[in-house]
Copies of this chain bind each other. A is one copy, B any other.
Amino acid sequence: MRKNPERRTALVDAAIEVLAREGARGLTFRAVDVEAGVPAGTASNYFASRDDLFTQAGGRIYERLQPDAPTMAKAADGAYDRATLTELMYELVGRIAAFRTGYLALLELRLEATRRPELRAVLTERVRADIDANLSNHGESRMPGDATSVLLLYLALNWLIVEQLTLPEIFTEREVRDLVAAAVERALPATPCPPAPAGVPAPGPGR
């Protein structure tokens, strides 16, 4: 088992590309070698098994997907209002969709996790950490919305990204933007009303 860390990272990153392009079943030692531009057999020396490749790729994707310095800064510095939150979510979708191969690889890994308990454990831990991080980030910032808002946004935006990456013709760019805005808008708990026009008690479907 070789140690060289740069090489190892390069190989894992190559594995992500292969995953996105060829699918989980296409992730082989040889394919990684080719993608990374190293001699055949190299990946064999760096990973104990294919399982190992999968789990390392799973870990690495979150490493690359999670942190995002400039956005984090904006999240911390910006105003804590709905408009800023919308802007942030819009950036989030754009940013993740931009790392197309990473997200597609992640989907492949999720499906592969169906078959590989070890991978499932790794992904479960990462996803849980991701969600928890979102929750506590949101809690610490003073953005509007509660924990439920965060979870609902998580759900809706994830599928929105799936839709964009796999069947881009379903929603236009405009529709995507509108959906992000609507998701933020409605994910927030009902806000107290602006002062009602007049004595009209405003019926409508009460909760």
Contacts and interface: CB of A to CB of B under 8 A. Distances in A.
A166 B131 contact: no
Interface in A10-29: 21-26
Contacts of A167: 110, 113, 120, 123-124, 127
Interface stretch (A32-40, A47-55, A65-73, A191-199): A191-199
Contacts of A157: 155
Number of copies: 2
B166 A156 contact: no
A148 B160 CA distance: 13
Chain A interface size, as a band, is 35 or more
B191 A190 contact: yes
A204 interface: yes
A35 to B, nearest CB: 16
Contact of A156 (B152, B188, B189, B207): B152
A192 B149 CA distance: 20
A124 B170 CA distance: 6
Nearest to A153: B156
B187 A207 contact: no
Contacts of A151: 179, 182
A98 interface: no
Nearest to A160: B155
Contacts of A23: 23-25, 111-112, 115
Nearest to A145: B205
Given A110-B167, A195-B202, 19 more contacts: A23-B23, A25-B26, A82-B207, A114-B166, A120-B167, A123-B166, A131-B170, A148-B186, A151-B179, A152-B179, A155-B160, A156-B156, A158-B159, A185-B207, A186-B190, A190-B191, A191-B206, A193-B202, A195-B196
